Amino acid sequence: MKQIETDYKLTTPSREEIEFYVREGKRLQSEVFTNMLKSTYHIVMKIFYPAATKQKKAREKTVTPLSGHHAHSN
């Protein structure tokens, strides 16, 4: 494979530049991961929250006849 000639030469980055790019890469990776977790949380809540709310309301309607207190399932 023939190498393409360019008008510019690639230089070896300095230690400071390498450290900057590594640090910036880790920061961005962390930010992306955090955003993925938030997004996943919201998706899961959209799916399961209505069902959980329905179950909770059904439990709240269940009253023990003698005590008048709400029944709690353990």
Answer whether residue 2 is part of any domain: no
Do 43 and 29 touch, CB atoms closer than 8 A?
no
Answer whether residue 49 is part of any domain: yes
Residue 65's pLDDT is 57
Answer whether residue 64 is part of any domain: no
**Which three-class secondary structure string do you get for 14-50?**
CHHHHHHHHHHHHHHHHHHHHHHHHHHHHHHHHHHHH
Cα distances (angstroms) measured from residue 39 to each of 15, 19, 30, 44: 36, 30, 14, 9
Domain count, the chain: 1
Answer whether residue 29 is part of any domain: yes
Host domain of residue 27: 14-58
Please state the pTM of the whole predicted model.
0.47
How confident is the model over 6-62, as pLDDT tens digits?
A: 677 788 999 999 999 999 999 999 999 999 999 999 999 888 888 777 777 777 776
